[in-house]
Amino acid sequence: MPQKKYQLEVQSVGSDTYIAMSKGHHDLEEFMVAAVRECPGWFLGGPQHKWCKTVPDRSGEFDCRYVFVDEGTPGAWPATYCWEFGEDYKRYNAEAQR
pLDDT, averaged per 10 consecutive residues of the chain (98 residues), comes to 83 89 97 95 96 91 90 96 96 73
> pTM, whole model, 2 decimals?
0.87
Distance of CA 90 to the CA centre of its chain: 18
CA gap 13, 23 in Å, rounded: 12
The residue ranges of every structural domain in the chain are 17-62+79-97
CA distances from 43 to 15, 22, 33, 39, 72 (A): 15, 17, 12, 9, 32
Residue 24, SS3 per DSSP: coil
Instruction: Let me know: does 49 contact 25? Beta carbons within 8 Å.
Output: yes
